[in-house]
Amino acid sequence: MGFEKFGVVSFTSQSRASAFVDYLEKGEVRGTKCRSCGRVFFPPRADCSWCMKSDVEWVEIKGEGTLVSYTKVNYGPTGFEKEVPYILALADFNGTKVFGRFNKDVAEDTVKVGMAVKVSPLNLSEGRISYEFLPA
Ligand SMILES: [Zn+2]
């Protein structure tokens, strides 16, 4: 339990990576790192898809990332209809790719591939929580 608070729409109430929500509530965006091969996963995974081990630790995604790509969403999927338009982005944090939405107040014409971004928890209505990108 605990994962039902994540995001605009919850697709599951349980996850072996539910601590992700606890970290968001503490102000931290975290992924998992495989203790065996060192790969970092975002979104966090309880199992390493590379070496198939299940020994992972939580690592904070912090500092500046680089915007790799983005798109403007004008027609949202189920549950996101009222959120549009919004910008979906992919950013690189020291080799870890992070996918998410940009802060809704960031103007599209200020978003550029290669720009420095940071990722931060985002409190939603009704006690829900997610994360978002902001210019660094
Ligand atoms: Zn691994």
Cα–Cα distance measured from residue 57 to residue 33, given in angstroms and rounded to the nearest whole number: 5
More confident residue, 118 or 1: 118
Cα 49 to ligand 1 centroid, rounded to whole Å:
7
Cα 93 to ligand 1 centroid, rounded to whole Å:
18
First to last CA, the chain: 33
Structure tokens at 2: 């605990």
Residues 6+ apart with CB under 8 A from 9: 78, 79, 80
Cα 107 to ligand 1 centroid, rounded to whole Å:
38
Cα 52 to ligand 1 centroid, rounded to whole Å:
6
Whole-prediction pTM value?
0.89
Peptide bond preceding 121: is omega within 30 degrees of 0, i.e. cis? no
Domain spans of the chain? 15-62, 63-124
pLDDT for 82-131, tens place per residue? 889 999 999 999 999 999 999 999 999 999 999 999 999 999 988 899 99
pLDDT for 27-79, tens place per residue? 999 999 999 999 999 999 999 999 999 999 999 999 999 999 999 999 988 88
Cα 37 to ligand 1 centroid, rounded to whole Å:
4
